Amino acid sequence: MITSPKRTLTWLVAVVAVFALLGTACSDDKSSTSTDNGSTDNTSAAGSDIDYASLSGTLTGSGATFPKPFYEEAITEFMAVGSDLQVTYAGGGSGQGKTDLQDGVVDWAGSDSLIKDEDLSKFQGTVLYFPTVAAPITVSYNLSGVDKLQLTPDTLAKIFQLDITT
């Protein structure tokens, strides 16, 4: 996910949202979290002074479709705290997300690639990168007579570095 804040606090709210969502996702008790005083409260993360239920505003995002199911679930869980914060995410692909962010149409974009250095000046504000999901990489092959291929980590690295091309 990449972000270029329209407003001073937009990126901060996004960061808080990501950490809150990760905390919720990692929690054993999905219905509540414990605060330092031992009480049960679903509006703040354990050990924090942030009252998530008091947040308000709108955050919009677009971009990569691979992380969209994660973002949708995270948004649903985050908005369950009852805040007046509206968060939406439309897919459309990494390129669309970058274009929307560059044009100021969205507050954040999901992408599987970085913005080229020469294009950064086209974006408003500072571009921040937050890894949110990871995908496995597979190596496909079509070798006659080979039913099982085992590659060492060194060989795989050389393939991805284009040191081995055939």
pTM: 0.58
Delimit the domains of the chain by residue range: 2-138
Distance CA 17, CA 135 (A): 22
For 107-155, write each residue's pLDDT tens digit.
999 998 899 999 999 999 889 999 899 888 888 888 899 988 899 999 9
CATH topology of domain 2-138: D-Maltodextrin-Binding Protein; domain 2 (3.40.190)
Q: Write the Ramachandran bin of 136: left for phi over 0, alpha for psi from -120 to 50, otherwise beta.
A: beta
Span 53-105, pLDDT tens digits: 888 899 999 999 999 999 999 999 988 887 788 999 999 999 999 999 999 99
